[in-house]
A = this chain, B = another copy of it.
Amino acid sequence: MTPHTPRKAKPPALQKAAPLFAALGDPTRLRLVAALCAGSALSIAELTAGAAITRQAVTKHLEVLDDAGLVHDLRRGRKRLWQLEPARIDEARRSLEAISRQWDQALQQLKAFVEK
């Protein structure tokens, strides 16, 4: 048995972060994010330039990022411009911070127990 299982509320907000991390977990998409975090909104063609893949592939990646809420698009004439949604990046970062905090806290308690 688990004699002292603190069956507290697990942070279920973490689960919500999975799609976020999944969206960031691809080198191409990470490159796109990096390009967009320079500030200016970029067209699909611009984002494709220099990449080793097709424009359509880039479009798909952008839509994945969009579904994760990490970017959003705005139509402008015949162009479709994309830009970052930095709040979402922060959200992912905070999830990792939560994990770190919980870990540190667990260590502290363990240490306190040992020293007793």
List residues of A whose CB falls within 8 A of some B CB: 10-11, 14-15, 17-27, 30-31, 33-34, 37-40, 84, 86, 89-90, 92-93, 96-97, 99-100, 102-104, 106-107, 109-110
A21 to B109, CA, bound (A): 29
Are B103 and A92 interface neighbours, CB within 8 A?
Answer: no
Q: Which one, B10, B27, B96, contacts A15 given CB within 8 A?
A: B27
**What are 26 A-B pairs at a CB distance below 8 A?**
A10-B31, A10-B34, A15-B27, A15-B30, A17-B24, A18-B24, A18-B25, A18-B26, A18-B30, A21-B22, A21-B24, A21-B25, A21-B30, A22-B25, A22-B26, A23-B25, A25-B25, A37-B106, A40-B106, A89-B103, A90-B96, A92-B96, A93-B93, A93-B97, A93-B100, A96-B96
Q: Is the interface of A mostly helix, strand, loop or mixed?
A: helix
User: In the bound complex, do residue A14 and residue B30 qualify as a contact, i.e. CB atoms below 8 Å apart?
Assistant: yes
